[in-house]
Amino acid sequence: MFYNYTLTENKFLLIVTHKHTVIVLMKYLLKISDEEFEFYELPNKKILLIELNNSFEYVKHDEIDY
């Protein structure tokens, strides 16, 4: 069964994706320059919990062990 939720329903949105996709997302959210991006690394074996405000702008992120 498929449930259709909008991002404004105050629910958690879970995105499961490949590491390369997440690293590009973090570049965008953290506003990392191309030069800095060459050295940016995601933590291994961690879940990233990304918090956005009501305007869907980046607020913070936490790294959670699994």
Instruction: Give me the pLDDT at residue 45, please.
Output: 87
| β-pair partners for 49 | 62
Determine the 3-state secondary structure of 50 from DSSP: strand
End-to-end CA distance of the chain: 27
Determine the 3-state secondary structure of 7 from DSSP: coil
Instruction: Give me the pLDDT at residue 27, please.
Output: 94
- Give 10-residue mean pLDDT values along the chain (66 residues): 61 78 91 94 88 88 90
Give residues with Cβ within 8 angstroms of 63, minimum separation 6: 43, 46, 47, 48, 49
Instruction: Give me the pLDDT at residue 52, please.
Output: 86
Answer whether 0.85 is exceeded by the pTM.
Answer: no
Instruction: Give me the pLDDT at residue 16, please.
Output: 80
∠ CA 59-12-51 to the nearest 5 degrees? 10
